[in-house]
Structure 1
Amino acid sequence: MASHRKSRTPGPRVAGIRTPALATAALTSVALLSQTANAAPTDDDKPSLEEVERKVDDLYRQAESATEKYNAAKERTAKQRKRVDTLLDDVAKRTQRLNEAREELGSFAAAQYRTGAGIPDTATFLLADSPQDVFDQRQLMDRMTGRQKEAVDDYVTQQSETMRTRQEATKSLETLTESQGDLKTAKATVQRKLTDARELMAKLTAEEKARLAAIEKEKREEAARKAAELARQQQAQREAAQQDSGAGTQDPSGSGSSGSSASTTAPPADASYATKAEKALAFARAQIGKPYVWGATGPDSYDCSGLTQGAWKSAGVTLPRTTFDQVDAGTTVPVSQAQPGDLVFFYDDVTHVGIYIGNGKMIHAPKPGTYVREESIFYDGESSIHSVVRPA
């Protein structure tokens, strides 16, 4: 007898299972999507030149931030190593004094033993945790001379201080190890950021590099325009200050325009500062053309804070090593009132610094691959300026 079931149209099988047409279509779509995902990227997927520029600038910024952290870790490591060396020298000296005190006590113990006082032999005495305990236990402290008692007290003191110094040296060694680890990490971070930036630049075509150079030129021109504008503002302020000074001389009460000027103008740098600033600037100018090398403090190469530190050191002013600390090493003044020698700091995380030379310009060590040079303080836009500090 014939079956009444309708025959089904054979369909493809997947893993031994017959699949309906809808599932087949879905599988086909998935396959196509997979092929698309694995296909080589098109020109539309390639980042724009502006995006590459932003990424490269950001990587250099990150590298500079890592450089300052490296500088801080290096300084911390150097100080800690010096501290450890000092402590170890102290331990050695104390150990020598301890041994001398031990020998003296041993001679006292041997003398007491020879007189039949019941003191154990010298070896037993010297191995005791506390020689004074030995004397106390034998009830011989009253038989000892003042010099002998003083020797026991000195030994106990030396023993305690030597132990304390050894413990301090051990802790300092542990801290030194941590600082060395921080130094290694910071160094690796700098190198990684610089490598990433260089790889991005290496992928640019000759045409893209030419376009990038044109963009950089436009930025420099805009920065120069802003520097010229700042120079005009500063000149106008100087002229106004001179006029206000004259008006103040004629007005014994001190009221008038000179009073309002004082409320908006930072105290001018004195002659002493100007003399020091001149020396610092002379040093900075002499470094123009030398390469930026992260972590360098001269004399053949510099990073940004190494240059400013060296410049002011030549003027007899000691600045901290890093931008993070240099920004606090002086008096903050408005950008409009910056004077030659002042330090100009950049970015919210204070990771770059230059030394102001006047007319809206500075000398600085910009970034890896560049050289110490004069440049507008607006080289990376007005908003990048964090603060201006007068260091002396």
Structure 2
Amino acid sequence: MASHRRPKPASRTRVTVLTATAAAAVALSAQAASAAPAKPSKPTSVKDAKAQVDTLYSQAEQATEKYNGANEKLKSLQTEASTLQDQVARQQEHLNTLRDSLGTIAASQYRGGGIDPSLQLFLSSNPDSYLDQATALDQISSLQSSALQQLQDAKRTLDQERAEATAKLAELQATRTELGQRKNEAKTKLAQAQAILNSLTAAQRQQLANDDARANRSTDRVDLGDAKPATARAASAFAYAQGKLGKSYVYGASGPNTFDCSGLTSWAYRQAGVTIPRTAEEQASAGTRIYSESKLSVGDLVIFYGDYHHVGFYAGNGMVLHAPKPGAVVRYESIGNMPFQFGVRI
């Protein structure tokens, strides 16, 4: 975050909340270090192993998409919290200046033979209580009244900004905690998938690897038909995505050389000059929904699964271009291989 001035008197809000955040992060790291993935059931066949692994990969992708969303929220909250802390610092300095000016008035009155009772009350050990009583005192001069009203307004603004900053920092802490939880969840699912693969014989693992290799190579022979993009920006984004065919899938990656599903689509549209949300779930609401597969155009986003955790590009002729799963690369695949929900035209 940005550095902040240290006005007098110093507020403990930021130190307290950030200390709590650091403690939560340490506790989360300790918890993650001690956590171990549950032992998966032994597959009865290569087909059973593939089904189990694919399910775990899908669950890991769900967790990763939530991680991506929390990460985007974290970035936004960090900016907002930093801005609020700067506002609190500036307002504290303003309040200190107003208090100093009232102290100058009191000193002048003392030299002239005594301090106004209203200023005596303000300069007492509990000056904040004065702010609620000052307006009832008849002895306040117009100059003092204006200065005291400014002080009261500044104090009210400072209290409000401190409360907003405290709430924002608490939200930031909660988001950091969620970020760690989602990351650990994805790691656990991936570890479980790897344990299943490790339980297979060398020949069985090779069979699965050959299946994935064939799927990756199918990109070279795909027939996309003669479908056209609906918009120029969709055509541009799809062309950028095509340029990444063969690049590896990596959870949480958003380019330029590795991608997860929503990382590919958001990166490609960004290259085309269009900003769309980072996660598949948010991309599901980023444009006009198209519920009929027959009405999809090249470059439309295609949303899969009931919770919208996977996304790709419609490529034409019933095919999608997407970043599918670990061990795979950005490739074409039949739209029917996953539970289609709807398309989104950007």
Classify the TM-score, shorter chain: 0.7 to 0.9
Partner Cα distance (2:57, 2:277) in 1: 23
Q: Which amino acid aligns with 2:235?
A: E
Q: 2:5 aligns to what?
A: none
* Deviation of the 1:325 alpha carbon: 1.1
3-state SS of the aligned residue for 2:128? coil
- The match for 1:286 among 228, 233, 243 is 243
Q: Which amino acid aligns with 1:129?
A: D
Distance 1:218 1:104, change over 3 A: closer
Partner Cα distance (2:280, 2:43) in 1: 36
Structure 1 runs not aligned, ≥5 long: 1-44, 239-267
Q: 1:160 aligns to what?
A: 156
For the pair 1:386 / 2:344, whether they are aligned, the reply is: no
Aligned positions, number: 302
Give deviations 1:263-319, integer Å, cap 9, x for gaps: xxxxx93xxx2x112211222122223322211222232211111111112222221
Structure 2 runs not aligned, ≥5 long: 1-41
Give deviations 1:313-366, integer Å, cap 9, x for gaps: 222222111111111111122211211110111122211111122233332111
After superposition, where does 1:106-255 map in structure 2 within 5 Å?
106-119=103-116, 125-126=122-123, 127=125, 128-132=127-131, 139-141=138-140, 144-145=141-142, 147-212=143-208, 231=225
Partner Cα distance (2:315, 2:182) in 1: 32
TM-score normalised to the size of structure 2? Answer: 0.77
- The match for 1:94 among 85, 91, 94 is 91
Distance 1:365 1:131, change over 3 A: same
Q: Which structure has the larger Rg over C-alpha atoms? A: 1
Deviates most, 317-326 or 290-299: 290-299
Distance 1:221 1:316, change over 3 A: closer
For the pair 1:329 / 2:289, whether they are aligned, the reply is: no
Distance 1:120 1:291, change over 3 A: farther
Contact 1:287 1:372 in 2 (8 A): yes
- The match for 1:360 among 318, 325, 335 is 318
Q: Which amino acid aligns with 1:365?
A: A
Partner Cα distance (1:330, 1:136) in 2: 56
After superposition, where does 1:62-77 map in structure 2 within 5 Å?
62-77=59-74
Q: 1:258 aligns to what?
A: none
For the pair 1:317 / 2:317, whether they are aligned, the reply is: no
Partner Cα distance (2:218, 2:321) in 1: 18
Percent identity between matched residues is 39
Partner Cα distance (1:368, 1:342) in 2: 24
Partner Cα distance (1:366, 1:220) in 2: 10
- The match for 2:335 among 360, 374, 377 is 377
Q: Which amino acid aligns with 1:298?
A: G
Partner Cα distance (1:118, 1:184) in 2: 58
Distance 1:357 1:116, change over 3 A: same
Partner Cα distance (1:303, 1:46) in 2: 27
3-state SS of the aligned residue for 1:129? helix
**4+ runs deviating over 4 angstroms:** 120-124, 130-138, 213-225
Distance 1:100 1:118, change over 3 A: closer
Give deviations 1:137-189, integer Å, cap 9, x for gaps: 76321xx23x4322211110000110111111111111111111111100000
Q: 2:76 aligns to what?
A: 79
Q: Which amino acid aligns with 2:153?
A: T
Contact 1:327 1:389 in 2 (8 A): yes
